C-alpha cells in the first residue's frame, strides 16, 4: 500500500516533516533563550505573547517534553519517508544514500539554522511559536504527562525536583554585570550610581567617616569670644559642641540657630547649650545601606562614630553617605578633597590622613581599601615602620614618596602612578 503513494506526496511529506522539525528545534531554543526579566516586564504590561510564553515556562519540564515529543515524532516520520524514497529511486543503495542526505539536511535546516536564528532573536521566534505550543500542549497533555512522569521520577531519584524550578535571585555581582552590559541603555553616570548603591552593603561607616582629628567642633569651655569666632568661621551647618575634648560631647549645634545668639549683645554658654540637639551615635562597623535607613528613621543628618569601646573615632553625615552614591555635590560637608592636591607633574600631594577611598575616587588608582582607611595607615602597613621624609614605597600601581612626617605619622606624601602597574604590595 505504501508503494502506491506517489513520489510527489512523499517528497511533500518529507519537506513538511523537516519544516516541523525546524519549528520544534527553533521553538525550544527560542523559549529557553528568552530574557526572563524582560519577559516578566512584558507580562506586567499585559503583552499577550509574553503571557503565553511565561505560562509555558512556569513548567519547563512540560514544555521540553512537548517539544521533544513533537520533534522526535516528525524526525521518525521523516526518516521512514526518506527511506521509502531512497529505495524507490536507488534500490538497496538508496538506504545508505538517504541516511547521509537526510542527516545533513536535518542537521543544517532543522537544527543549526533554526536554533541559531532563535538564539539571536528569541522573541521573534518564541512569541509566535506560543500560538502553536499552547493549544498543542493541551491536546497532547496525556502523552506529555506520561513522559514527564517517568522523567521526573528519575530526576527525583537523583535529588532533583521540578517543583523547585523557580528563578534564582541575582547576586550583587550578577546585578553589576547586568548593569555593565546594559551599555548605552543606561548612561555612564547612572551606571556609576547603581554600582555605588550595590556597594553600600559592603562599605561601612568607618570607610567614609571624617576621622576624629579632622572633626570641627565648638569647645564650650573656651571663652565666649572664642566660641563666637568659631561660629563665625564655621564652614559647616552642624557641628558637635563639647567640653574640653571631643570625648565629652554635649550636643549638636545647628549653626543657623546660633546666628540668633550672635545678634544679641550678650550670650552665655548656657544659651548655647539650650539650642543644642541630642547627639546621635553610630557604631563604626554599620554598613552604609543600614545607616542610610537609620538616618531616615531617626530624622538625623549627622552621627558621631564610636568604636567597640564607645570612644568617638569620627563623624559621619548624611551628605557623606549620599556622596558615595551620586558623587560630590556640595561644599557644605566634610570632605577629603582639600587634602588631595594635584600637581603639575601629574602627581598628587596628599595629606596623610586623607581617605584612600577618596584618593581612589579622584585618581582611579584602585589602592587597597580592605585594610587601613587612610594613606598614613596604608604606608605604615606597607613599611611596617614609621618612615622618615624622603623614603619612597611602591603600593599597588603607585609610587609614594614621604614628604613630611611627625613623630608618629606621615603628615604629607607625594603619590604618583608607576610606569608599569604591579600587584598590590610595598617595598622600601
Of the listed ranges 82-91, 212-221, 321-330, 383-392, the one predicted with least confidence: 321-330
Of the listed ranges 170-184, 226-240, 363-377, the one predicted with least confidence: 170-184
d(CA 419, CA 423): 13
> Which residues lie below 8 Å from residue 268, measured CB to CB, with a gap of 6+?
224
Q: Could you tell me the pLDDT band of residue 206, with boundaries at 50, 70 and 90?
A: confident
In this model, does residue 405 exceed pLDDT 50? yes
d(CA 283, CA 44): 42
Helices (H), 184-223: 188-199, 205-208
Query: Which pLDDT does position 228 carry in this prediction?
Result: 81
pTM above 0.85, yes or no: no
Grid cell for residue 16:
513538511
CA nearest neighbour of 66 among 124, 126, 162, 142: 142
Strands 249-254 and 281-283 come out as unpaired
Query: Which pLDDT does position 115 carry in this prediction?
Result: 92
Q: Could you tell me the pLDDT band of residue 21, with boundaries at 50, 70 and 90?
A: very high
Residues for the chain: how many in total?
428
Grid cell for residue 354:
586623607
d(CA 133, CA 141): 11
Query: Which pLDDT does position 334 carry in this prediction?
Result: 43
d(CA 159, CA 164): 11
List of domains in the chain: 2-164 (no CATH), 203-326 (3.10.580.10), 337-417 (3.30.465.10)
In this model, does residue 281 exceed pLDDT 90? yes
d(CA 63, CA 57): 7
Query: 288 φ, ψ to 5°?
Result: -65, -35
d(CA 47, CA 44): 8
pLDDT in tens, 61-112: 888 889 988 999 999 999 888 888 888 888 788 788 888 988 899 999 989 9
Amino acid at each position: 500500500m505504501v508503494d502506491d503513494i506517489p513520489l510527489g506526496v512523499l517528497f511533500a511529506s518529507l519537506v513538511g516533516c523537516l519544516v516541523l522539525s525546524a519549528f520544534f528545534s527553533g521553538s525550544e531554543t527560542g523559549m529557553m533563550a528568552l530574557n526572563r526579566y524582560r519577559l516578566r516586564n512584558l507580562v506586567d504590561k499585559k503583552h499577550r505573547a509574553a503571557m503565553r510564553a511565561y505560562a509555558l515556562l512556569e513548567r519547563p519540564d512540560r514544555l521540553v517534553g512537548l517539544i521533544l515529543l513533537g520533534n522526535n515524532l516528525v524526525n521518525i516520520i521523516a526518516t521512514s519517508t526518506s527511506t521509502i524514497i531512497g529505495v524507490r529511486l536507488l534500490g538497496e543503495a538508496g538506504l545508505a544514500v538517504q541516511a547521509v542526505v537526510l542527516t545533513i539536511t536535518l542537521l543544517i535546516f532543522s537544527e543549526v539554522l533554526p536554533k541559531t536564528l532563535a538564539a539571536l532573536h528569541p522573541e521573534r521566534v518564541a512569541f509566535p511559536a506560543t500560538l502553536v505550543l499552547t493549544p498543542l500542549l493541551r491536546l497532547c497533555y496525556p502523552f506529555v504527562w506520561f513522559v514527564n512522569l517517568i522523567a521526573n521520577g528519575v530526576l527525583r531519584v537523583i535529588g532533583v525536583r521540578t517543583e523547585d524550578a523557580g528563578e534564582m535571585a541575582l547576586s550583587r555581582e550578577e546585578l553589576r554585570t547586568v548593569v555593565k552590559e546594559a551599555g548605552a541603555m543606561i548612561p555612564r553616570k547612572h551606571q556609576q550610581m547603581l554600582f555605588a548603591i550595590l556597594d553600600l552593603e559592603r562599605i561601612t561607616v568607618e570607610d567614609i567617616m571624617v576621622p576624629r582629628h579632622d572633626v570641627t567642633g565648638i569647645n564650650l569651655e573656651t571663652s565666649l569670644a572664642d566660641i563666637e569666632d568659631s561660629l563665625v568661621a564655621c564652614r559647616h551647618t552642624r557641628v558637635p559642641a563639647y567640653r574640653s575634648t571631643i570625648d565629652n560631647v554635649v550636643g549638636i549645634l545647628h549653626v543657623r540657630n546660633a546666628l540668633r545668639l550672635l545678634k544679641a549683645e550678650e550670650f552665655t554658654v548656657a544659651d548655647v547649650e539650650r539650642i543644642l540637639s541630642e547627639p546621635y551615635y553610630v557604631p563604626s562597623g554599620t554598613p552604609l545601606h543600614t545607616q542610610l535607613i537609620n538616618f531616615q528613621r531617626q530624622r538625623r543628618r549627622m552621627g558621631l562614630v564610636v568604636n567597640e569601646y564607645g570612644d568617638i573615632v569620627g563623624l559621619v553625615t548624611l551628605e557623606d553617605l549620599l556622596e558615595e552614591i551620586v558623587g560630590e555635590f556640595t561644599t557644605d560637608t566634610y570632605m577629603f578633597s582639600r587634602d588631595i592636591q594635584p600637581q603639575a607633574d601629574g602627581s598628587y600631594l596628599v595629606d596623610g590622613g586623607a581617605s584612600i577611598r577618596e584618593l581612589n575616587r579622584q585618581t582611579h588608582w584602585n589602592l587597597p581599601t580592605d585594610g587601613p582607611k587612610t594613606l598614613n595607615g596604608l604606608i605604615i602597613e606597607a613599611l611596617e615602620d614609621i618612615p622618615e621624609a624622603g623614603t619612597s614605597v611602591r603600593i599597588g600601581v603607585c609610587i609614594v614618596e614621604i614628604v613630611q612626617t611627625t613623630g608618629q605619622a606621615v603628615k604629607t606624601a607625594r603619590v604618583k602612578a608607576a610606569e608599569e602597574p604591579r600587584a598590590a604590595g610595598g617595598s622600601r
